[in-house]
Each structure stands twice: as C-alpha cells, then as structure tokens.
C-alpha cells in the first residue's frame, strides 16, 4: 500500500506537468496501438495502457516517457498479467536506442515473444524482450518471459544503464550468453533494487543462463528474490570482461530457489515429463535442456544425463539450443541410430566454456544452423567447447548442418580432447568442420580415432560464397612455446569441396596445422577432395610445425596435395612420410616457405590405390590394391623403428624417435585393424567382401565357418587351428566395440566348435546388426568372419 500511495503521488505530479495518453483496444482511448501513442506523446508524457494483448515492436525514438499498464495507478498485479506486449517473434519487443535517460520508465507489463532476427545488425539480435543501446530506463514490476535473442534473451543493456525493481524475468532464451539478462557496461554497476527484489529464474543459455554482467573491476553484489538455484555456477550467473572471459567478481544474495538440484544421474525421453523426477527410465524428464539445468554437478563425481531413444528437438521436446555444457556432466545416448538430436535449424546443439571433465556419446545431431551474425561471419552449428579441460566425444554423427563457422566441433583452449567413432557429413560451412586451437597457458592434446569427414561443402548464400577452409585444423598458441600435439588415426577425409579465393594456409578441403603443432597422421584416407577454383594445397602446414605421416593414402585431390606456408617462426616446417601412398611423390608438395624439411622414409608408393569406388565405403581397398599389407611392419628382434609391436593385447606404433601411438583394435568400419599379420595403408583394412573371410594358412586351416548366418537366437562357430597357443575368439560390433569373448584359452592344434547365443559379456542381448568374429593366436590375427543377427 505504501508503494501504491507513492506511485499515485508521482503520477499526480507527472499529470500536472505532462499529458497522459491512453491506449485502449476498444477504441475509447486516445489510441488503439501503443506505438501510435508513443509517436504522439511528448517528452515526459505517460502512455497508459489498458488490458489486452498488443502485438507490437516498440521504440521510444529518444523520448523520455513513462509506459505503463493500469498497475501504475492501481497497484493491482493482475494488470501485469492482463496487459501484454507481444513481439510476435518479429524482433525485439521494446528497443531504446536513441539516448533515452532514467526519466524513462517501463512498468506493469508482460513482455513476451521477442525473437532474434539474424538478417539484421549484430546488436539487434540482443535483448529480444527489452534492449537498451546507449540508453537508460527504469524497468519496474514487469514479467519478461519467452523471448529469444543472441545475447540477453530477456533484457540486454549495451553501454546503457537500467534500474530494475520487482521484475520477474523467466523462460527467456539466448543462443550465446545471458539468457535472462545481459548487462554490458564496464563503468557503472548493474542496479537491482534491494527492497523491491527482482526474480530471475529458469532462463536458458549455454553460459550465464539467468544473468551475465560486465565486470567493473570490483565486486558487484546483487540482491535477488528468486533464482533458479541457491548456489549458481557459471552456467547460471557470472561476470565477464570485454572479451567474454570469466572474471567471477559477482556476488548473489538469493532468498529462494525455483528448483531443487538433483545430485544423481538423470534420464530424459521424448515421452517424458519435466515434472517427473528423472531419476530412472520409468520417470524420465522430457528435455535435455531442463535436465542440464536440474542436475547438480559434483567436482569429484561425473554424473550422466541418459538420453533415451527417440528424437529431441525444439518443437517436440522443447530444447533450448545450444544445450549449455556443465563440468563433470556426461550426455549419453543409447546409439547413433536411435538417439537423434534434430536442431531444426534453430542453432548449434551444445556449447560451453570453462568446464572440466565432460563427455558426449552415442547420438546423432542433424539440421544444426550456424546463425549468421554478419554477412561476413557465422556461428558454429555442432559442438562448441572453449576454455575446458578434459573432453571426450565418442559415437557421434553430425549430419546436414548448414551456414556454420565450424560445422562439427570447435574447440578453443581445450587442454585435451579425445574423439572416437565420429562422422561429419553433408554439411555446409565457412570454416573447418573440426577446429582445435591450443591455449596460451597450456598445451593441447588432440586424438581423433575412427572419424569420417565426407561430402561437406562451402557456404553459398546466393550472392557471395564463403568457404575454403580446411575440414580439420589443429592450431597452436601464438604467445608461448608450448606445443599442440595431434593424432589422427583411422581418419577418412573424402569428397569435400572448398571455395578458395584467398590462397591461404587455412583454405582447401583437407587438413591444416599452424606453427607449434606436432601432428601424427596414421592410417588416413584423404581423397576426392576438390577446390572450386582448382587451387593447390588440399592440405597445408607452416613453418614451426611438424607433420608425421604413417600408413596413409593421399590420392585424387587438388594437386599439389600439401602446401607449406611461411610464418614468423625461425624453425622450418618438417614433414616425415613412412609407408604411405602419396600421389606425385615430391612433386605433390609445394614449399612456399622455401626451407621445409621433407623426409621420405621406407615404403612410399605413388600409384592408384585401387579403391572400391562404390557402395557404403567407396574408399575401402579392393583385392588388387597395392596398399594391402604395405603399412608399417610388425616388430621383429633387432628391427629399427618405425614398427608395430603388440604389448598387453594392444598394437603400438613406435616412431623413429620412439614416440608411441596406440592403434585402435579395428579400422573405420570395424574390421580388425591388422588382419593378416601386417597393417594396410589407409583408414580401411582389406577384408574379403564375402561372408567367409579366408584366413592365413599358417594359423587356420580352411575357412572360419558360421552357421546359421544370418541367425536370430544363436549360431555356431567352427574353425581349425594349425598352431597351438593362446586362442581368443572375440566378437566386435561395427564401431569396434568388443561385445563378447567366446573363447580365451591355451589350445593345441585341432578342430574347434562353439556356440554364440547372441549375448554380450554382460549377459545382455546383442541388438540386430552385423558383427565380426575375430580369431587370434598368441595375440596375432588369424582370421575373421562377418555374421548377421536379425
């Protein structure tokens, strides 16, 4: 009542000096539209709005006005809910950009349905509820909800100032930072009243979901009535500098929390409900976005959000993209084939900063959108991870993302990232599908194993073409001498198209390294890549880097295959080839730096690799390929490296300087990586395309037989050993994961027969599909056979 009396007195004072312009939808007021009233009002007038839903996008055009509902004159909160300004998803609801001052007030409305406009200038994408650009305002007793912007979904203050009293800011969404509030003023602290407290809760963004403020160089203390949780991490609230770096000089005093965080694994399903507990598959939540908000991270324990089979999207499950990453949280689907994230061209899937120990596994991401920011640049459309320690990604497919800076994965200043069983295909973008940039404060380690980058192309928006960047870039830091180490193993980069007019190191459809990078390329197949301008340099490196290539195939790309560029490093670039097919030999390298060291080791080929050319894996080897059994040899006593040695049931490649590279058990499609005693060149190990694969006679006599094949419940395995020893019969799926050990025993020569009941080592039924049964004697591959379960 006290506040109501004060408000009435202030209004009476205002009326005595200025006009009150009324807005009523029934035609009994001065105007029926709010913008009409604003246009007609004079400075210091009050625009008083009667209840109704007004589908408008408002601007004050430099006038200091009071825009209010009947809440201003009555103090009745029901008028806040009844008087709605709806942006109709057509840009910002209320924009102040013409120098308005604190004599401007917005009071007593529900402000909703502002939405980003990616065809406008950058700042207009921000603050799609209310946006203040170099302007000021008092914002009082409003509900700001269900707005979506690039930065500051509910409220964005860009160089201006605001005083906030008694507002509720909820269910807003930003695709970058600051889902509820983004306050960017480095000289004046944000003001949230300490008497009429504001509430900011259940907003969504990848970082600072509820509030982000610009650091002013000293502690800022904010009093809040209700926030999403009592103890927010930087997923909910933080302060940043002008480069969006975490400063963390923000203190929040919170009276109430909206949800109780759950210190346990959570489950989500398209058939779930966000009112469920989420604690088991029988009571799942519905959206991944809500699960990442609800889960309680623990610095000592990694927790998992289990994504049950089905399709998740903004429309069907209410996903707010990108999903914001949080430390020690794993997102785990069931399988790439049945767990689908459909971004519906609403943005990228996952983004996070300043995290530790995150994992993503076993799902497919499709229809991501890069969200154009300016005619010259775009945003990422797959996974965006920055300033993070320890990242693991496995069994992920990214398909058909468009208009992206990095279509698949962008990582800046991540100390280690391991990627296994990853496909990126049919996507459109400007820069690299995979972009890894080391930090200035620590080195970076990148390992990519069993990855396929295929059929991606440049961005063409109709009048301009953007693209020409490498599909995979590994970049070191600039301000220190720390080395970024990368290992690409079982990688296929094929049939990608770039458009290069700059003729620079980062252009072309293959891979690139910067200075201070040590890159190992092992069993890569790089072929069929084209530049629209037919410029050379499908792959590139610079002075100060080292590239070591083993067991790989470079063929049918724009030639020369590798270009070396100048940099300000004094150390020359170095490229070392071993057991590799490299088209045109020395002529396939263009040394623009002038002092590159190129070492040609043993086993170099320059001929047609005899790829299959058709089917699901056209870059697999045919029986006539010179690349079969032409890779690095197996170790024999007295041999100098490079060689491959079996240790503790793992194959390890030893380099000439005795660095070690652990090889995966299978090739890109699940065939044993070393099938007949010596590794092949390329990402695919040769295997006969018939069901029964002949085995080396010195270990197994005749064929390995499986019957029935295909089978439903169980099948028989039969083979003849010509040599005694420790015999293992192992079953793998096509992703290279071991499913079952049928046999592991010391055996004499003889005939063996056993039965597989379609189960795993854990007693679970193996799903229908193709499996590989591999026989090993004393760790040496003796043979394998494909079997299908229906």
Instruction: Name the average pLDDT for the chain.
Output: 87
Q: Mean of the pLDDT values across residues 711-726?
A: 88
Q: Which residues pair with 738 in a beta bridge?
A: 732
Residue 221, classified by CB atoms within 10 Å of its CB into exposed (0-12), middle (13-18) or buried (19+), is: exposed
Which uninterrupted H or E stretch holds 72?
helix 71-74
3-class secondary structure, 573: coil
Q: How far is CA 681 from CA 154, 419, 450, 522, 600, in A?
A: 55, 21, 14, 9, 16
Omega before 606 cis (within 30°)? no
**Angstrom distance (rounded) from CA 6 to CA 165:** 14
Do 272 and 282 form a contact (C-beta atoms < 8 A)?
no
Residue 440, classified by CB atoms within 10 Å of its CB into exposed (0-12), middle (13-18) or buried (19+), is: exposed
Rounded percentage of the chain residues whose pLDDT exceeds 70: 87
**pLDDT for 501:** 55
List pLDDT tens digits, range 368-391: 877 554 433 446 667 888 889 999
**pLDDT for 13:** 46
**Angstrom distance (rounded) from CA 319 to CA 349:** 9
**pLDDT for 248:** 81
Question: Binning pLDDT at 50, 70 and 90, where does residue 4 land?
Answer: very low
**Angstrom distance (rounded) from CA 584 to CA 592:** 18
Relative to beta strand 383-386, strand 339-342 is unpaired
Sign (positive or negative) of CA dihedral 386, 131, 83, 56: negative
List pLDDT tens digits, range 476-517: 766 556 788 899 999 999 988 887 655 455 566 778 787 788
pLDDT at 698 over 70: no
What lies within 8 Å, CB to CB, of 138 at 6+ separation is 102, 104, 105, 106, 107, 162, 163, 165
List pLDDT tens digits, range 531-587: 877 777 788 888 789 999 999 999 999 888 998 887 777 889 999 999 999 999 999
Radius of gyration over every alpha carbon of the chain, rounded to an integer in angstroms: 31
Q: DSSP states of 640-654 as a string?
A: PSSEEEEETTEEEEE
pLDDT at 455 over 90: no
Q: Mean of the pLDDT values across residues 586-595?
A: 90
**pLDDT for 2:** 44
Question: How many alpha carbons fall within 13 Å on the CB side of residue 640?
Answer: 4
Do 361 and 394 form a contact (C-beta atoms < 8 A)?
yes
Do 549 and 526 form a contact (C-beta atoms < 8 A)?
no
pLDDT at 1 over 90: no
Q: Which residues pair with 220 in a beta bridge?
A: 250
**pLDDT for 406:** 67
Give the residue with greater pLDDT, 743 vs 699: 743
List pLDDT tens digits, range 86-143: 999 998 999 999 999 999 999 999 999 998 765 555 545 566 899 999 999 999 999 9
pLDDT at 394 over 60: yes
Strand segments, DSSP code E, in 234-321 are 237-240, 250-257, 266-268, 303-307, 310-312
pLDDT at 785 over 90: no
Rounded percentage of the chain residues whose pLDDT exceeds 90: 58
Relative to beta strand 497-498, strand 530-531 is parallel
* Measured torsion, CA atoms of residues 558, 564, 565, 570, in degrees rounded to the nearest 10: 180
What HEC string does 484-504 produce? EEEEEEEEEEECCEECCCCCC
**pLDDT for 610:** 94
Do 771 and 761 form a contact (C-beta atoms < 8 A)?
no
Comparing C-alpha atoms, which of 673, 669, 677, 671 is closest to residue 661? 673
Comparing C-alpha atoms, which of 54, 17, 58 is closest to residue 38? 58
pLDDT at 54 over 80: yes
């Amino acid at each position: 009542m006290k506040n109501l009396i004060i408000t009435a007195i202030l209004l009476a004072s205002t009326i005595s000096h200025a006009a009150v312009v009324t807005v009523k939808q029934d035609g009994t007021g001065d105007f029926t539209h709010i913008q009409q009233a604003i246009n007609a009002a004079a400075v210091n007038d009050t625009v008083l709005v009667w209840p109704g839903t007004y589908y408008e996008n408002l601007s004050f055009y430099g006038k200091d006005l009071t825009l209010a509902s009947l809440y201003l004159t009555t103090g009745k909160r029901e008028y806040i809910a009844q008087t709605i300004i709806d942006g109709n998803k057509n840009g910002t609801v209320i924009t102040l950009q013409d120098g308005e001052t604190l004599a401007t007030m917005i009071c007593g409305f529900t402000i909703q349905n502002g939405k980003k406009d990616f065809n406008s200038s950058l700042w207009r994408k921000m603050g799609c509820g209310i946006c203040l650009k170099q302007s000021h305002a008092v914002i009082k007793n409003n509900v700001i909800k269900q707005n979506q912007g690039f930065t500051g979904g509910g409220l964005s203050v860009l160089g201006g100032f605001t005083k906030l009293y008694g507002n509720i800011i909820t269910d807003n969404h930003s695709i970058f930072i600051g889902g509820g509030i983004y306050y960017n003023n480095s000289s004046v602290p944000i003001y949230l009243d300490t008497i009429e407290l504001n509430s900011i809760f259940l907003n969504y963004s990848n970082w600072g979901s509820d509030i982000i403020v610009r650091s002013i160089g000293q502690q800022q203390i904010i009093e809040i009535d209700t926030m999403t949780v009592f103890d927010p991490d930087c997923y909910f609230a933080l302060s940043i500098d002008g480069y969006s770096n975490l400063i963390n000089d923000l203190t929040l005093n919170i009276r109430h929390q909206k949800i109780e965080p759950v210190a346990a694994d959570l489950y989500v399903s398209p058939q779930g409900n966000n009112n469920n507990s989420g604690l088991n598959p029988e009571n799942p939540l519905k959206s991944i976005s809500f699960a990442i908000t609800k889960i309680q991270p623990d610095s000592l324990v990694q927790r998992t959000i289990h994504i049950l089979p089905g399709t998740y999207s903004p429309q069907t499950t209410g996903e707010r993209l990108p999903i914001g990453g949080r430390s020690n949280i794993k997102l785990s689907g069931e399988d790439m084939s049945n767990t689908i994230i459909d971004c519906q061209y609403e943005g990228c899937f996952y983004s996070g900063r300043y995290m530790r120990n995150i994992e993503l596994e076993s799902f497919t991401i499709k229809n991501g959108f890069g969200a154009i920011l300016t005619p010259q640049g775009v945003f990422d459309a797959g996974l965006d991870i920055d300033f993070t320690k320890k990242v693991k990604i496995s069994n992920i497919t990214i398909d058909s993302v468009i208009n992206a800076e990095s279509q698949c994965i962008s990582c800046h200043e991540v100390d280690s990232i391991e990627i296994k069983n990853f496909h990126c295909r049919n996507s459109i973008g400007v820069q690299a599908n995979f972009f890894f940039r080391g930090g200035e404060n620590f080195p970076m380690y990148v390992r990519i194993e069993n990855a396929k980058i295929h059929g991606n192309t440049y961005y063409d928006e109709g009048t301009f073409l953007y693209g020409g960047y490498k599909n995979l870039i590994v970049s070191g830091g600039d301000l220190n001498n720390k080395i970024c180490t990368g290992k690409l193993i079982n990688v296929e980069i094929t049939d990608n198209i770039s458009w290069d007019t700059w003729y620079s190191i980062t252009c072309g459809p293959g891979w690139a390294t910067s200075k201070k990078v040590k890159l190992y390329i092992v069993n890569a197949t790089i072929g069929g890549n084209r530049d629209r301008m037919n410029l050379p340099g499908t792959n590139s490196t610079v002075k100060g880097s080292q590239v070591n290539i083993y067991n790989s195939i470079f063929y049918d790309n724009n030639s020369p295959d590798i270009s070396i560029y100048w940099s300000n490093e004094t150390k020359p670039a170095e490229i070392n080839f071993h057991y590799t097919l490299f088209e045109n030999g020395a002529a396939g390298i263009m040394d623009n730096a002038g002092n590159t060291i190129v070492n040609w080791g043993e086993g170099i080929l320059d001929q047609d690799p005899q790829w299959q050319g058709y089917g699901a894996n056209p870059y697999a080897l045919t029986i006539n390929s010179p690349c079969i059994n032409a890779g690095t040899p197996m170790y024999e006593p007295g041999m100098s490296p490079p060689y491959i040695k079996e240790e503790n049931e793992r194959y390890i490649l030893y380099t000439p300087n005795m660095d070690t590279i652990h090889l995966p058990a299978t090739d890109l499609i699940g065939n044993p990586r070393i099938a007949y005693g010596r590794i092949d060149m390329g990402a695919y190990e040769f295997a006969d395309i018939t069901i029964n694969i002949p085995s080396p006679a010195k270990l197994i006599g005749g064929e390995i037989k499986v019957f029935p094949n295909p089978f439903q419940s169980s099948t028989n395995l039969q083979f003849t050993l010509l040599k005694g020893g420790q015999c293992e019969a192992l079953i793998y799926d096509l992703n290279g994961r071991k499913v079952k050990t049928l046999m592991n025993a010391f055996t004499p020569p003889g005939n063996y027969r056993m039965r597989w009941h379609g189960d795993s080592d854990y007693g679970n039924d193996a799903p229908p599909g193709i499996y590989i049964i591999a026989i090993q004697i004393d760790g040496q591959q003796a043979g394998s056979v494909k079997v299908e379960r229906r």
